[in-house]
Amino acid sequence: LQLEADLAQAARRGQMRLVYQPIVDIQTGRIGGYEALLRWQHPQLGAVPPNEFVPLAEELEIISELGAFVLEAACRTFQSACSDPAGAVASQLPSLQVNVSTRQFLRPGLAQTVRRILDDTGFPAARLHLEVTESALILDIDEAARTLTELRDLGVRIHIDDFGTGHSSLAFLHRFPVDALKVDRAFIARLGEDLVSAKLVQTVLLLARTLDVDVIAEGIETATQRDHLIRMGCRWGQGYLFARPLELADTLELLRAGP
């Protein structure tokens, strides 16, 4: 119960920060974007993982506030990096991918919140990519399609996170205005070990081509996995092989260094 009370105060008390993991062109290593990942440093417990506190924030009905905090912090941070006189970072500013939890997506008002944050921070809408899980989309398909359309109308892009672990079917996938599928790391982990995983990833790549959307492979840890993906024609990836989630200073350093 103390943890719940602490969570409600954590952002205000400066215990929440973002780290950023690059999304790269897996052939060249060029950075195409960053995924913002939230970290909670609890004064007594130390680091509490988002797998634990995000569901808790959903139960406590404070996920919309926490989600807005993440969106605003990420946009503001990158927008000020962009206007940093020290470097010509602006032209290389990549996309920023921000996770939206299931309940945060389902609560009304998400598009209005996103619009306000884009207005307040000046962050370009086209560079903001929201990651929504399959499970958020299937609970109410019509409502989900409406929300996605509202977000798309603002100019932001939509990625389906953890793709392959939910239960989306071909029947409704094409009804959602999405821009990319992020293949769940469970499939990537077994590349090179079992043939079925390779075939499933191949199937997602084919599906993406049919729908004309991008694919991002998550959780690439080995050169073997990367080489498999290159052979299959996957362009984008993310994982410890390329970079772990980075502190802001290192993220900005990479940006300044350029491609």
DSSP the chain: -HHHHHHHHHTTTT-EEEEEEEEEETTT--EEEEEEEEEEEETTTEEE-HHHHHHHHHHTT-HHHHHHHHHHHHHHHHHHHHT-TTS--GGG--EEEEEE-HHHHHSTTHHHHHHHHHHHH---GGGEEEEEEHHHHHSSHHHHHHHHHHHHHHT-EEEEEEETSS---HHHHTTS--SEEEE-HHHHHTTTT-HHHHHHHHHHHHHHHHHT-EEEE----SHHHHHHHHHHT--EE-STTT---B-HHHHHHHHHH--
CB 66, min distance to Mn ion, A = 15
Chosen from Mn ion, Na ion, ligand G, none, partner binding at 68 (C-beta under 5 to 8 Å by type): none
Footprint on this chain of ligand G (rule: CB under 6 A)? 21, 37-38, 49-51, 54, 70, 99-101, 161-162, 185, 218-221, 238-240, 245
CB 180, min distance to Na ion, A = 12
Q: Compare residues 36 and 48 and give the one whose CB is closer to Mn ion.
A: 36
Q: Compare residues 56 and 154 and give the one whose CB is closer to ligand G.
A: 56
Of the candidate residues 53, 162, 168, 213, the single one contacting Na ion (CB under 5 A): 162
CB 216, min distance to Na ion, A = 10
Q: Compare residues 99 and 147 and give the one whose CB is closer to Mn ion.
A: 99
Choices 53-61, 79-87, 105-113, 218-226 (CB under 5 A): range interacting with Na ion: 218-226
Q: Compare residues 69 and 172 and give the one whose CB is closer to ligand G.
A: 69
Q: Are 240 and 24 in contact (CB under 8 A)?
A: no
Would you count residue 134 as binding Mn ion (CB under 5 A)? no
Choices 49-57, 134-142, 157-165, 209-217 (CB under 5 A): range interacting with Na ion: 157-165
**Which stretches of the chain bind Mn ion, using CB under 5 A?**
99, 131, 161
**Which stretches of the chain bind Na ion, using CB under 5 A?**
162, 184, 218
